[in-house]
Amino acid sequence: MRKFGIVCLSVVLLLGVACAGFAAYPEKNLQGLIMWGAGGGTDNFARAVTPLVEKHLGQTVILQNRTGASGAVATTLVVNSPADGYTLLYGAENPANYRVLGLSPLSFHDLEPITIAVEGAVVICVNPETPFTTMQELVEGAKAEKKIRMATSGVGGLPYVAGAMMKNIHGTNFNYIQFDGDGPGATAVMGGHADVMPLALSTSVEYIRAGRLRGLAVLTTKRVPQLPDVPAITEIYPEYEQYLPWGPFYGVFVKKGTPADIVASLSDAFVKAMEEPRFEEYVKNSGGFKNGSTGEDAVNFLVKFESTASWLIYNAGGAKHSPAEFGIPEPQK
């Protein structure tokens, strides 16, 4: 009887330790790796949401900008980390294109989405001192000769895909110059080191309002309220509608295989953070809109985005591999 009592006590203690371990997450600080540089849309999102998330997690998230290879450096670091929920990737849309571009064998299929937090629009921006005052002038100039310098964040980045869209429709031919993210690229355009850059609305809106950039068109079917004087691209070129809606997004991810309860805890913390007035104000001021999807909804969002972006790049002649090689279906018209 005494032996039975000892065994029962041991089982209870073991269960107690296991439950305590489960309840303890997170029991230490987390790392947050931002795939793009300071001042860009991904960085702005990370620094807006993280202080709010920390309150709900009860731990600090140590943010680091780990740039390079269109975000593949940060993505690789997260995928190579333990699947324990202590290394977060603050990312944008780039991993959807890694495989077709030959940048990395990785994709969103190697990650678990915590949330697709914010979506945005793309604005075609030029230096105000360039002669391009309309989208038509830019298109005609880029069709004539390869002298117009387009700043990009690298192969597969948002400006690259927007450039592929323009090439598909107009046959434009830009001189591409790579910068370490949309923040440095925008700075280069404003400084006269490049002429044009497709930029996230969240990155460009304040520069356009201040007259430091000129917005020629927004890649949407309707004008956005933050820039009411900038036309939607379909007002000028209706043929863009076949690719829309399309645009940047910012989300948080962990390594595939992270325990479901940890993913759920993180998703819950981010959802609560995104409901706070400070985050709502950030979204409003940045020119984006909240998505907030988690779980299966977030996975479905990523699958659809990968299909649109990878086939767009492939049809523009910018891919090293066909999306079909990776089982990526063509988007439905």
- pLDDT tens per residue across all 333 residues of the chain: 444 444 444 444 444 444 444 458 999 999 999 999 888 889 999 999 999 999 999 999 999 999 998 899 999 999 999 999 999 999 999 999 999 999 999 999 999 999 999 998 999 999 999 999 999 999 999 998 778 999 998 877 789 889 989 998 999 999 999 998 888 999 999 999 999 999 989 889 999 999 999 999 999 999 998 899 999 999 999 999 888 878 889 999 999 999 999 999 999 999 999 999 999 999 988 778 899 999 999 999 999 899 988 998 888 788 999 999 999 999 876
pLDDT of residue 12: 42
Domains of the chain, start order: 25-120+248-326 (3.40.190.150), 122-243 (3.40.190.10)
pLDDT of residue 17: 42
pLDDT of residue 155: 78
Question: In sequence order, what DSSP letters do the residues of 281-312 get, joined into one string?
Answer: HHHHHHT-EEEEE-HHHHHHHHHHHHHHHHHH
Is 308:287 a contact under the CB 8 Å cutoff?
Answer: no
- Residue 38's φ and ψ, nearest 5 degrees, are -60, 140
The continuous run of DSSP H or E covering 106 comes out as none
pLDDT of residue 247: 86
Global pTM reads 0.78
Is 201:122 a contact under the CB 8 Å cutoff?
Answer: yes
Cα angle 330-331-333, degrees, rounded to a multiple of 5: 125
Residues 285 and 92: their CA atoms lie apart, in Å, by 19
- Here the tokens at position 211 are 């007259």
pLDDT of residue 23: 55
- Taking the CA atoms of residue 179, residue 196, residue 200 and residue 239 in that order, the dihedral angle to the nearest 10 degrees is -130
- Here the tokens at position 85 are 């929920």
